[in-house]
Each structure stands twice: as structure tokens, then as C-alpha cells.
Amino acid sequence: MSDDTSSRYINRELSWLEFNQRVLDEACDPTIPLLERLKFIAISGSNMDEFFMVRVGGLQILTDRGVTRPDPAGMTPAQQLAAIRQRVRRMTADQYACFMTEIEPGLEQHGIRRIRPEQMTERQSQSAAQVFLNDIYPIFSPLATSSADDFPRLINHTLNVCVRLAPQAGDGEQARFAVIPFGRGARRFLTLHSEGGYSYMLLEDAVSMFADRFFPGEEVLECTPFRITRNADIAIRDDTASDLLADMQDLLDARKTTDCVRLAIAAYTSPELLAFLQEVLEVPDEDVFKQPGPLVLSDFMALTDLNGFDALKLEPWPPQPPVDIDPTVSMFDIISQHDVLLCHPYDSFDPVVRLIEEAAEDPDVLAIKQTLYRTSRNSPIVAALARAAQRGKYVTAIVELKARFDEASNIEGAKLLEQADAQVIYGVKGLKTHAKICLIIRREPHGIQRYIHFGTGNYNEVTARIYSDISLMTCNEELGADATSFFNAITGYSQPRRYRKIEAAPTGLRDKLIEMIEAETKRKQQGQKAHIVIKLNSLVDPQIIEALYAASQAGVSVKLNIRGICCLRPGVKGLSENIEAISIIDRFLEHARIFYFSHGGDERVYISSADWMPRNLDRRVELLTPVEDTAARRRLINILDTYFRDTKKARRLLPDGGYEMIVPDAQPSLSSQETLYRAACDAIRRTKQSQLTMFEPHRASE
């Protein structure tokens, strides 16, 4: 095996693009209902937007600064940008081929029709004209522009229309331009009259159709939709910030004026109009993406919720009430009897919300300490913490203002908590607090009792219905002591004493992970059985990858379930032939981090907030939590096993960074997510049957 690092690592950015391709592959799957396929098209578009804002924006900054240092895969920033652009153009072509030749015609056959201006009936034309006069013309403002000096400041990722007007007399051949910005609140899909089904037209088509109304007496030569992506890879130096909240609000303002890293524009745009936009936006040819269909495919997510088209959607899988949680019994009583492990979204997130809401109302609860990374807009958890503070409980909320693209929501929640007299800590200086933990201190007859929730996902009841995550609720004394030390370290900016059970980043998490991997390696070298099974969102960290390579070379069986980025090359002879890596993309976003080490028969299982990436291990506050309850540990091992039996949605990572579908053997194909959901439903059904059986003798006697 060559020592060349490019032969040991897959480039992070190209690995991410392959993840997005797997999302797009779901949209191209003809066995999936059409509106679900449209959903995956929209997700792939939204993913790409964020990728350009953050990853491409960051690489452009490095390139502009003349940085040539290669990444672990041996690629310089300029080489990465070139490879990204080439791969993105292929993916964009695939997106539109799928959307325009499969999904859109299929939807039309089932009554969901996009109507172009030339296809309108007389009644539809009249309806469109009425909508334009009532809802568009009074609101939108055309902005004349002739150069970069007077070009309007456009909002990132919003649609606009550029209008080219005929030259005025005396101006020679010089064309004139105007921009009509749509803004954030614009309604993209305009409902039209239809004899059946749902007919709509796009907002940009309506503006183009009636553009001459904005310019009376002028000749409109062209009306073209376009959209810009600004660089969002900017940050504040929070270690020097005097007022983090104010500085974060300044950062949000700064993102509105950063450089354009991508110009998406209709493929039919004239050379004259395109040249004008490139000049005023300072966009080179390589950052122009001409698109053959509607721009902003992510907007089409709105159509996936249309009523009356259930046949075009998947069967609903509502979260199930956990069988070991009685809704009539206090969460404190339940947790004091046994640890509670929940696998969301198969198990409902309601018990987590209920625990915090009960804590807010319970007169015996003295304090609540909680991290908040991404919450919902009207979060019941934030509201419960505010009520707790208003009732005189000691409430400490560590609100991470640097949760990218959720900054505004977190600022809103932080202000609400401050107004309720909660102690609000804006994370840790120089780090991002990504750990998911809630500590509740309660006075009980035997003394002070600590109840803790550890999670792999956010305290967000909305995303908990579509993200696959793990919750552990416990009153274990040692975990409670560790939780107290953890919060004291954050709020007091002190170094924590050595934890009893948990481990945290950035202080010792990487070392702990490598230690556990190396322990399996040593056992294998001593002739013992050794096995590692890992479920993550991303695997990037070179030190951990090297430890996994060493384990494989010693003969340790390593199974990796990595949803997104994986920089490790599996199945390479002499390096990683004992490593298998899969990725599962299905209706729920796989988000849980679960780690299993056989440990010589003394099985060790952990859940974590952290992916194995340098940013998580070096620049974030993260947690690793052991799951020691026998039933909970066995359930997590079974969940991991279920993922590796998936032959319907799992794709195998190849040594070259590509992926292939896993072909099932003689057995029927198996979907891990469906298996886990059916198991949750079966557990509820068995519980109800058991309850009925208990009462049968009573009914017989009656």
C-alpha cells in the first residue's frame, strides 16, 4: 500500500457530493411514490444550497488567499473547487433530467400540473392577470440598474427576475436593465382554475407574462429568473467578542453582503443579459449554473403537502408511544425505576418534552440545566424553561448562538429565557456547544436526586418526527455527578474534574475513542474475538481513521454505518479489507451516533452527540455517554444489527469513493427503517393485547 495520503483518504467535499447523489437517487427511484420523489429532489437542492454557502464559500476564500496546502486526500483548495464544479454540473443535469422527464410528467398524469403561459386557457389567463394585479404589481418594485454601482443588494437564496429593455432613442444600441426582487415572503406557486386536480403557475412566469405592466411605454426584450448564493462561511471571534449576542446579530447582517459564489440562471438567458449579471455580480464563468427548468427546486417541497393526493405519498408512520412509559405516571417515577431508552422517530419524543414540562411545574424541582442547539420556532421546551424560571426555579440554559442558519431562532429563544430571569449562557468561548443534555435536580424524601436526559439529536419536537435519534433518560448517580461537573465546567469556564462515566470534547473524546479502538486491536492480536460497529453521520478525522486502519490490519471486524461524509477507504487490501462501510438514505434522516465495542465479551455501547470530524473533536463541546442498562444496551445492539441487514436502502461504500446498492440474497429485501417502525408498532400491539388478556377473567366472571 502506498504511503501517498490520497490513496488512504477520500476527499471530504467529493464524499459529501456522493451523499447528495444518494439523496437524488431516491428521487430517481420509480418504486417510490411521486410526491416523495419530489421531496427528495427538494432536499437535494436544499443540501446543495448549504454546501455552496459554506463549503464552496470557504474554499474560495482559501483560493483567493493563495493557500495551496493540500487536504488529507492530497487536493489543494483550487483542485477541490475544480472537482466540485465538475461533479455539481453532472449532478444538476441529473436533477433536472429526473424532475422534468420523470417526476413532473408523472405528477401531471395524476392531476398536479404546472401551467406555462402558452398553455393557459382563457379562464386561467384571466385568473393569472387578476393575481398579478392584486398580489404582485402593488408589492414588487422594479429597480433600474446599469452597473455595479447602482445594482440592488439582493437577498441570499431568493429568486429575482432580470429584465432587459430596448434601448431608448439617442442611447445607441445600449440595452437597459432592471431587477425585480421577489423577497423572502413571496408565494412561489400561484393556484389556477382547474377542472380537476391542482393546477399552478410559477411566480416568475406570472411576472414575465405581465412584465410590460411594470414598464409602460417600454419594449421588454427579455425577462429572466436568476438566483445568487452568497458566501456564508464567515464567523465571529467569540473569544474576543465583548457582546456575543450583538456580534452574532452583526454576523447575520454581514451574510447579506458577502460575495456571490454561485449564479443560477435560466438556460434560455441571452448572452447580453448574462454578461451584465456576471459583470455586476463579479461572477466568473465557472460559477454560473444554467438550469434547464425551474430554479430553486427546494421550493417544490411545498407541493409535497398537497391535500387529496395520498396515493402519491408514503404510508404515514406516526411516532409510537413507548411501551414502558405510562402516560398517567410521573416521568420522575418512571425514570427512578429504570433507565428509559427511546429510538426516535419510531418512539415518540413526547416523553422528553413531558419530562421538562413536569420539571417546570413540580414544586420539588430545584433546578434545570440544559443545552439548546437547534430548537423549533415556538419550542415547548423553551417555554417550559421560561415557566420554570418564572416559578423561581434555578434555570440555566446554554444557548448556542453559532448553530449555523439557526442563529436567528436561537437569539429569539435566548431573549425569551432572559426575560423570564433564566441564566442564559451563550456557549463556550472559542467553541460551539453541540452536546445534548438536560439535568434536573429534584428534592426527594431520601435527599437530592438528579435526573438526566442525554441525546444524539436536538431538543426540537418537530425534527424529532423525521430524524432518527436516540434518547437516554436516567437517574444513575455517577452519570448525574458527571452531568453536574459538565455544566459547572461550561458555566464556570473551568477544566472539569475527571469524569466517572462520560467523556467530552474537546478535552478527551478523541483519546477515548482511539483508546477503545486500540483495545479491540490488542485483543485481536492476543487471539481474542474483536468487533467494532459504528453509526455516524460523518467520518473525517485522520487520527481515528488511522486507528481503524490499524484495527483492520490486525484482523478486527469493523462495520461502519456512515450516512454522509466518509473519508475512510474500506476494502483496500493490506489496509482496510476488514472494514465494511454502508450508508442508508430513506424517509427519515439518519442522525443517531451509536458506538459498539465487543470488549472481550464485556460489551460496551455508547451514544454521542459527536461525529468523528476534527470540528467535533477539537472545536466543539460534545458528549459521549455509556449505555449500561442491560435492556437498553441490547436494544441498541439490535438496532445496529438491523441497519446492517438492510438490503433495500443501504448502499455499500467502494474503495474509490463510489457507492453501490446492496443486492439481497434469496431472502426478501429488508428496509431497516421499516423494520424498526414495525417493531415499535408490534410492541404497542403486544402491550394492548396483554392488557386485554389481564381483564379477560373479570369479563368472564361478569
**How far, rounded to the nearest angstrom, does the alpha carbon of residue 278 sit from its chain's CA centroid?**
31
- The span from the CA of 469 to the CA of 393, in Å, is 29
CATH 3.30.870.10 domain span(s) along the chain = 341-498, 504-685
Which one-letter DSSP state was computed for residue 664?
P
Sign for the CA dihedral angle at 153, 156, 159, 161 comes to: positive
- Nine cell digits for residue 505: 470534547
pLDDT in tens, 471-484: 999 999 999 999 99
Beta-carbon contacts of 443 under 8 Å, excluding residues fewer than 6 positions away, are 364, 365, 366, 449
Q: If we measure between CA atoms, which residue out of 624, 406, 439 comes closest to residue 534?
A: 624
- The span from the CA of 286 to the CA of 245, in Å, is 37
Third-level CATH fold of 504-685: Endonuclease; Chain A (3.30.870)
Third-level CATH fold of 1-110: Methane Monooxygenase Hydroxylase; Chain G, domain 1 (1.20.58)
CA distances from residue 170 to 166, 167, 217, 342, 656 in whole angstroms, order as listed = 12, 8, 16, 74, 62
446 is catalytic: no
| One-letter amino acid for residue 656 of the chain | D
H helix or E strand, kind and range, residue 477: helix 477-492
CATH 3.30.1840.10 domain span(s) along the chain = 113-299
3-state helix, strand, coil in the chain (%, to 5): 40, 20, 35
Residues 279 and 145: beta-carbon distance below 8 Å: no
- The span from the CA of 467 to the CA of 480, in Å, is 27
Catalytic site residue from 110, 157, 338, 434: 434
The SS3 assignment for 440 reads strand
DSSP readout, 486-515? HHHHHHHT-PPPPPSS-EEETTTHHHHHHH
As a CATH number, domain 113-299 is: 3.30.1840.10
What is the model's pLDDT at position 402? Answer: 66
What is the model's pLDDT at position 411? Answer: 75
- Nine cell digits for residue 650: 443501504
- Nine cell digits for residue 338: 429504570
As a CATH number, domain 341-498 is: 3.30.870.10
Residue numbers of the chain with a pLDDT score lower than 50: 1-3, 235-257, 699-702
Residues 13 and 55: beta-carbon distance below 8 Å: yes
- The span from the CA of 225 to the CA of 210, in Å, is 14
Residues 673 and 468: beta-carbon distance below 8 Å: yes
CATH 1.20.58.310 domain span(s) along the chain = 1-110
- The span from the CA of 650 to the CA of 334, in Å, is 36
What is the model's pLDDT at position 496? Answer: 59
In the block, residue with C-alpha cell 474534574? 497
Residues 567 and 73: beta-carbon distance below 8 Å: yes
What is the model's pLDDT at position 6? Answer: 72
Q: Given the DSSP bridges, would you call strands 467-474 and 340-344 parallel, antiparallel or unpaired? A: antiparallel
DSSP readout, 339-353? -EEEEETTB-SHHHH
Whether this model's pTM surpasses 0.75: yes
Measured from the Cβ of residue 290, the count of other Cβ atoms closer than 10 Å reads 14
- The span from the CA of 497 to the CA of 416, in Å, is 33
Q: If we measure between CA atoms, which residue out of 490, 496, 255 comes closest to residue 372?
A: 490
- CB burial of 305-329 (b: ≥16 within 10 Å; e: otherwise) equals ebeebeebeeeebebbbbbbbeeee
pLDDT in tens, 322-331: 999 999 999 9
- Nine cell digits for residue 251: 454576523
- The span from the CA of 638 to the CA of 660, in Å, is 24
Residues 188 and 299: beta-carbon distance below 8 Å: yes
End-to-end CA distance of the chain: 78
